[in-house]
Chain A
Amino acid sequence: MSVRPDADTRKIRHAQAERLRAVWANPSGWRYWTSVNNFQVGLWYSSAAFAFMLFGGVLALLMRLQLATPVSDLFSADFYNQAFTLHGTVMMFLFAVPIFEAAAIFLLPPMLGARELPFPRLGAFGFWSFLIGGVFVCGSIFFDAAPSSGWFMYPPLATDPELSGVGADIWLLGLSFIEIASIAAAVELIVGIMKCRAPGMRINLMPLFAWYLLIVAGMILFAFPPLIAGDILFEMQRMFDWPFFDPTRGGDPLLWQHLFWIFGHPEVYIIFLPAIALMAMIVPTFSQRPIVGYSWIVLAAVGTGFLSFGLWVHHMFATGLPQISLAFFSAASEAVVIPTGVQLFVFIATMLAGRVIFSVPMLFGVGGIAIFVIGGLTGVMVALAPFNWQAHDTYFVVAHLHYVMIGGMLFPVVAGIYYYYPLIDAKHLSDALGRIAFWLMFAGFNIAFFPMHLTGMRGMPRRVFTYQTELGWDWLNLISTTGAFVFASGVLLVAFDVLRPKNRYLRGEMNPWRAGTLEWISEPEENWGVRSIPVITSRYPLWDQKTLMRDISEGRGYLPDAEEGRREGLVTSVLDARPLQVLRVGGTSYLTIVSAASLGATFIALTFHWWIASLVAAMAAFTAIVWWLWTGTAEIPEKPEKDVGLDLTLPIYASGPASVGWWAMFITMVGDSTAFASLVFGYFFYWTIHPDFTGGIDGPGSFWPLLALALFAAAWGLTVVARRYNTKDDVLVMRLCLAVSFALTCAASVAALQGPRAHAMQPTAHVYPAIVWILVIWVLAHAAVGAVMQAYCLARSFAGRLTRQYDADLSNVVLFWHFLVITAAITFPVIGLFPQAGWR
């Protein structure tokens, strides 16, 4: 192509751009809210998360007002307890985690040179679920019905309906709903990062932000399911009196603490790592050079991710565990400092090896590091068991965790806002306001939280709504309150800077900071992510590939057009990003809102025990989701392959491990299996704490469980065979196999049910029957999904939407069944054979 395009070429390009624009355009009017585009969803998601953060901040200020003076009667004990419970819950679940899912949805496609993430509708569904769940949980405080047992919800305080009220149900069900959305986002991010990078962007050329998000999404997959499993046990105890945490009937409150902190500690790193990821984008830009030690920082991040799963017991040092486990977990907790330190020194090394331009994002970033290092050092202190025995559950820990979270997360996020704001509307935030806000926040934060170290050492416990006057805490608390308001004024100034109208400013240039990474090719006016998909050969393509920007905007990359009027992106290989497939993603749809709203209604109705409403809403959610799958997934294209430009032709349909859907199923089921493993952990936990964990109660016997296992195995075998016959184009046998397998699944479910039923196992009598029932119910729920999937494939086959060549549905269902048969193969021997072994 010539450098100076002739009129014809210009015309063609213009027509291409017009078609592309039309395909990716947002709907207008109220239908705008049915958009699923990553820019819109990312923006809504971040705005909602920030709104929740401001709400959580107001709660914090109310608490600080109450504590400003001793024996204050500004608020009642009960209101204060609701406020601190909600403050922790909101900041963790509704701000810190979602803000990064939001930022990732917004930033990742352009950063990876992709048009969209692979499942835009799933992303929108996640956002709506988050919003509904979040408003439900936050709104409860206006009805004096907010959870008030602390964000950690320790039983028996939180399981006793008299002591905790409906607030605990709101917490459990509202947040379970949000956790599901988080896992959905994690699936989308993992598949997006692995399979949707621009051609040539090998895994070692990936922007660090993508690396971090990949690690964090993987952590979500293993950290959230134990909490969901815990929530299930918890809610069963609250709703139906199953005694999982009741020591009088064989339960143990400590099991919840384990499950909660197996989630809760990785959660800290799930929050912290993405903030470091933002720093890893900002520091090289303002040091005007590539990051020093790319492999160091990636390895350190992976190491932090792994180690973070081995630390949870340091939240339980005072529970009376044996000293040897305390020593082990002390050591593990200290070890995580090493990779964290490496990441900070990578930034310092990059600055040293470059020439630093000082700016508001750098100011917030560096200020955040200065604060975070204090939090890290107090972390070293509290990780040592002997010191922890003193500091645990005091204001020292309040100071520690806020130094970690605000220095390690909030400051980098504000740095990110100032840095990335031009991508939202091509304008800058105010430099002057940014500086004032920084100093207000930095000074206010330290005034508020530094004295708390001393308050805690002087014996002030956490979560107290008042304190007596002569304990030496009065002036320390007054200083903290003053600082909190200074800090809040800084946050408010940032909010003002973001929200103030900027119409009179001119549109800024693209890439105003002269950054090297690909997200800066994104144009706020366009919805398409990238005008055409480039070939990437560098970690900092905008610095190293001189003609890249022009090539992209002149449509000289892949997929510069949308001839068929479909939203299309490229799927590339995991390691070396070879182009494999054209991926057609779902467009604007109201199905995402309907599904999220009806699923939300199910959870909300359950909270208030409105069983019928809940059932109706669940049916609606089921219908909406099946309709969504039927109309929007595994669509048979009008032609098998298409020309994507640059002399490359790629298939439009993929099935099995080559397809993104298969990966999404695989990743979801890994998370699902983690939840299952947590329940099995519970079973063996009860076994270890009791001399006779059956409590003298009859088990389900061996016959029915083993029969159920045999039937499930047969159903699985036939599903696998069905796929084989489908590949041979033997439709009749395939349908027959699926139908018989469906019948077998139903029979297996009955057999599974019969075990505990025939032996009259009363789940309310003792924890042993209760945990057996939970495992059986878990399998039954999955069997129901498995059966629906078989029926769905049959229906698809009859409708001509599932054929020999286009069999993605069937191969995903087979994958689900692999996991289901493993679940059955663990559950039934555990409940049927293990108690017979008589090892204890």
Chain B
Amino acid sequence: MVYGCHPEQRRSTFGRYATGAPFLCCGCTGRQSALDTAGSEADATSFLFWVLVSTGAFIWLAVVGLLVYALRDRRHMWSEDAAGKLILWAGPIFSSVVLLALLTYALWLMPGLRPSSAGALRIEVTGTQFWWRVAYHQSPGPPAISANEIRLPVGEPVELVLRSDDVVHSFWIPSLGGKMDMIPGRTNRLSLLANKAGIYGGVCTEFCGTSHALMAFSAVTMRPDDFDRWLAAQSNPAANAGGSGKHLFMKHGCGSCHRIDGTEARGLVGPDLSHLGGRETVGAGILPNTEDAIARFIAEPGVLKPGTRMPSFAMLPPDEIRAIATYLKGLK
């Protein structure tokens, strides 16, 4: 599933915001790049990008070349008439032709980039400070609820229904396609078509408050049969023995904010944790999904993510925190 990694990954220093483990398992530069594509819209726009860059480079060289020539000590001064002709040809005429060509190309691209995806798989994503609610709608049965991770089948169009709970956010997976805002009171739709399996980065791109920088997610594109199997598993409670962690989770009231399918934890304030153990990250894309990271987030959420609504549970004994983390990591 991991796509295009470099063999040697840099060890990172996560400092205040993360633990000292490599982020995800993929260290390559393409994970969140609009130029390293895995979706049909991103393919088309990255090609458009290179067309525009080469046209632009050519024009820049021509203009600056002319400028340098004009500055040089020349033997002949141009006549006013010739100089006037330059304005006419280079100004309105040449630029109109180039712009018209580029505009036509881009506008011709547009309808195909985001086709209507009626009948396709519908994923509802709701932005909220500073994480993402996710719901997969399936024709029979209730939606499968998740958070901070989007999974998409390769080769099948997906319709994303984008909303916001609080302030304006913007949903962006550079490797798959362009972004779309999530605006309170409005519903936006975005269709994406992934064409390569892998793990990609997604982020919030509209400034949404203190920890805007820490509002990310991972987008996992999967082979359709893998995806179907995964979604079926998502729709049911995780198989987990529970143990002391589950008991502590309920006892300390975590369930008033978080929901875990098949338990009495039904809170809707924070992210759904039903299958937390199976996700790539914790804390909405800021930490690798390890027991350590989960324990750390429980102890100091406000340090890892300034402005989060989750209170610190640092007053719990470390072994209790560890037990809760073990329980959550086991929810797959």
Taking beta carbons and an 8 Å cutoff, which residues of A are in contact with B?
A: 70-73, 76-78, 81, 148-150, 154, 156-157, 160, 163, 247-248, 251-254, 292-293, 296, 300, 318-320, 323, 326-327, 330-331, 334-335, 337-338, 341-342, 344-346, 348-356, 358, 362, 366, 369-370, 373-374, 377-378, 380-381, 384-394, 457-459, 461-472
| Complex: A229 Cα to B113 Cα, angstroms | 37
Give the residue of B17, B42, B64, B71 whose beta carbon is less than 8 angstroms from that of A373. Answer: B64
- Contact code string B81-107 (vs A, CB < 8 Å = 1, else 0): 011101100111001100100110011
For the complex formed, measure the closest distance between the CB of B285 and the CB atoms of chain A, giving whole angstroms. 8
- Kindly state whether residue B151 has any CB partner on chain A within 8 Å: no
Chain A residues, CB < 8 A from B242: none
Q: Does B167 contact A (CB under 8 A)?
A: yes
Q: A387-B45, A390-B178, A457-B34 are in contact. List 13 more A-B contacts (CB 8 A).
A: A70-B12, A77-B214, A149-B209, A341-B90, A342-B87, A342-B92, A348-B66, A351-B70, A385-B110, A390-B34, A458-B35, A469-B10, A472-B30
B231 CB-CB contact with A under 8 Å: no
A390 pairs with B49, CB closer than 8 A: yes
Closest A-B pairs by Cβ, 6 of them = A247-B185, A389-B178, A472-B29, A464-B213, A459-B32, A320-B188
- Please tell me if the beta carbons of A341 and B34 are within 8 angstroms of each other in the complex: no
- Report the nearest A residue to B60, measured CB to CB: A373
The reply to whether the CB of B244 lies closer than 8 angstroms to some CB of chain A is no
Q: How far is the CA of A459 from the CA of B174 in the complex (A)?
A: 6
Question: B9, A470: Cβ atoms under 8 Å?
Answer: yes
B12 & A470 in contact (Cβ 8 Å cutoff): yes
Which one, A70, A457, A466, contacts B35 given CB within 8 A? Answer: A457
Shortest distance between the CB of A118 and any CB in chain B (Å): 35
Chain B 24-49 against A: per-residue CB contact (8 Å), 1 yes, 0 no? 10111111111100000110111011
Residue of B nearest to A73 (CB): B16
- Across the two chains, which residue of chain A brings its CB closest to B100? A334
Report the stretch among B72-80, B139-147, B322-330 that lies at the interface.
Answer: B72-80
User: What CA separation (Å) do A751 and B31 show in the bound complex?
Assistant: 64
B9 — which chain A residues lie within 8 A by C-beta?
Answer: 470
- Alpha-carbon separation in the docked complex, A356 to B23 (Å): 57
Chain B positions 159 through 201: 1 when the CB is less than 8 Å from some CB of chain A, otherwise 0: 0001000111010101001111101111011000000000001
Whether B267 sits at the interface, judged by CB under 8 Å, is: no
Q: Cβ of B204 < 8 Å from any Cβ of A?
A: yes
- Neighbouring A residues of B90 by C-beta, 8 Å: 341, 345, 348
Partner of B201 from the list A353, A389, A459 (CB cut-off 8 Å) is A459
B183 touches A157 (CB 8 A): no
**Which B residues touch A341, using CB under 8 A?**
90-92, 95
A334 in contact with B33 (CB, 8 Å):
no
A307 to chain B, nearest CB (A): 13
Q: Which residues does chain A contribute within 8 Å of B210, judged by CB atoms?
A: 77-78, 81, 148
Q: Is the CB of B179 within 8 A of A292?
A: no
A346–B88 alpha-carbon span in the complex (Å): 9
Which residue in B79, B181, B307 is a CB contact (below 8 Å) of A320?
B181
Q: Determine whether B298 belongs to the interface, using a CB cutoff of 8 Å to chain A.
A: no
Q: Are A390 and B86 in contact (CB under 8 A)?
A: no
Q: Could you list some 25 contacts between A and B, CB below 8 A?
A: A76-B306, A81-B212, A148-B210, A149-B207, A157-B167, A292-B84, A293-B83, A320-B181, A320-B188, A323-B111, A337-B95, A341-B91, A342-B87, A353-B83, A369-B63, A378-B56, A384-B102, A384-B106, A385-B110, A386-B48, A389-B45, A390-B177, A458-B29, A472-B31, A472-B33
Give the complex CA separation of A465 and B212 in angstroms: 8
In the complex, what's the smallest C-beta–C-beta distance from B70 to chain A, in angstroms? 4
- Judged by a CB distance under 8 angstroms, whether B236 is at the interface is no
Closest B residue to A363 by beta carbon equals B71
CB nearest neighbor in B for A248: B185
Q: In angstroms, how far is the closest chain B Cβ from the Cβ of A456?
A: 8
Given the known A-B contacts A348-B70, A470-B22, A471-B201, are A381 and B49 also in contact in the complex, defined by CB atoms under 8 Å? yes
Q: Residues of A contacting B166 with CB < 8 Å?
A: 156
Contact B83 A352 (CB under 8 A): yes
Q: Shortest beta-carbon distance, B87 to chain A, in Å?
A: 5
CA distance A78 to B73 in the complex (A): 54
Q: Are B32 and A458 in contact (CB under 8 A)?
A: yes
A-B contacts counted at CB < 8 A amount to: 294
If A338-B96, A354-B77, A462-B207 touch, whether A345 touches B91 (CB-CB below 8 Å) is yes
Query: Measured between alpha carbons, how far is A370 from B67 in the docked complex, in Å?
Result: 9
Which A residue sits closest to B171, measured CB to CB? A318
Contacts of A394 in B (CB 8 A): 205
Q: Are A390 and B15 touching (Cβ within 8 A)? A: no
CA distance A327 to B106 in the complex (A): 9
> What is the CA–CA distance of A330 and B99 in the complex, to the nearest angstrom?
11
Summarize B's interface: helix, strand, loop or mixed: mixed
B13 at the binding interface (Cβ < 8 Å): yes
- From the candidates B28, B87, B99, name the one contacting A337 in the complex (CB within 8 A): B99
Do most interface residues of chain A lie in helix, strand or loop, or is the interface mixed? helix
Q: How far is the CA of A393 from the CA of B113 in the complex (A)?
A: 20
- Determine if B331 is an interface residue (Cβ-Cβ < 8 Å): no
Contact A330 B103 (CB under 8 A): yes
User: Could you say which of A78, A353, A355, A394 has the most chain B C-beta atoms within 10 Å of its C-beta?
Assistant: A353
Give Cα distance in the complex from A327 to B86, angstroms. 31
**A254 vs B14: C-alpha distance in the bound complex, in angstroms?**
37
In the complex, A326 Cα to B106 Cα: how many Å?
A: 11
Nearest A residue to B103 via CB reads A334
B171 to chain A, nearest CB (A): 9
Is there an interface contact between B181 and A390, defined as CB atoms closer than 8 Å? Answer: no
List of B residues within 8 angstroms of A370 by Cβ: 64, 67
In contact, A349 and B83 (Cβ under 8 angstroms) = yes
Query: Once the chains bind, are B92 and A381 in contact (CB under 8 Å)?
Result: no
Contacting residues, chain B, for A251 (C-beta < 8 A): 185
CA distance A253 to B168 in the complex (A): 8
B206 contacts the other chain (CB 8 A): yes
- Specify which chain B residues have a CB less than 8 angstroms from the CB of A344 in the assembled complex: 63
The answer to whether B184 touches A358 (Cβ under 8 A) is no
CB <8 Å contact, A386 and B95: no
Q: Nearest Cβ in chain A — how far from B71, in angstroms? A: 5
CB nearest to B6 among chain A residues: A470
A457 → chain B closest CB, angstroms: 5
- The yes or no answer to B123 lying at the interface (CB within 8 A) is no
Distance in Å: Cβ of A422 to nearest Cβ of chain B: 23
The chain A residue with its CB closest to the CB of B63 is A373
Report whether A160 and B71 are in contact in the complex, using a CB–CB cutoff of 8 Å: no
Structural contact, B103 and A331, CB atoms closer than 8 A = yes
Contacts of A300 in B (CB 8 A): 91
- A467 and B212 alpha carbons, distance in the complex (Å): 11
CB-based contact B23/A352 at 8 Å: no
Cβ-neighbour of A292 out of B69, B87, B178 (below 8 A):
B87
Question: Which A residue sits closest to B107, measured CB to CB?
Answer: A327
A335-B95 Cα distance, complex, nearest whole Å: 9
Do residues A468 and B23 form an inter-chain contact, with CB atoms below 8 A? yes
In the bound complex, what is the Cα–Cα distance between A392 and B12 (angstroms)? 28
Q: Are A387 and B49 in contact (CB under 8 A)?
A: yes
| Pick from A247, A338, A457: contact of B186, CB under 8 Å | A247
Closest Cβ–Cβ distance, residue A468 to chain B (whole Å): 5
Given contacts A377-B59, A461-B205, is CB(A334)–CB(B99) below 8 Å?
A: yes
Residues of A within 8 A of B222 (CB): none
A468-B211 Cα distance, complex, nearest whole Å: 13
Q: Give bound CA distance, A341 to B62, whole Å.
A: 13
What's the nearest-Cβ distance from chain B to residue A246, in Å? 8
* Cβ contacts under 8 Å, B16 to chain A: 71, 73
A206 → chain B closest CB, angstroms = 20
Shortest C-beta distance, A75 to chain B (Å), equals 11
In the assembled complex, the CB of B39 is this many whole angstroms from the nearest CB of chain A, namely 11
Are B183 and A253 interface neighbours, CB within 8 A?
yes
A323: nearest chain-B partner, CB-CB: B110
Cβ of B184 and Cβ of A156 under 8 Å apart? Answer: yes
What residues of A have a CB within 8 angstroms of the CB of B74 in the complex?
A: 355
Chain A residue numbers with a CB within 8 Å of B26 are: 470
Bound-complex Cα distance A334 to B98 (A): 10
A471–B29 CB distance below 8 A: yes
Known A-B contacts A72-B15, A462-B207; the reply to A320 vs B99 at CB < 8 A is: no
Q: Are A254 and B186 in contact (CB under 8 A)?
A: yes
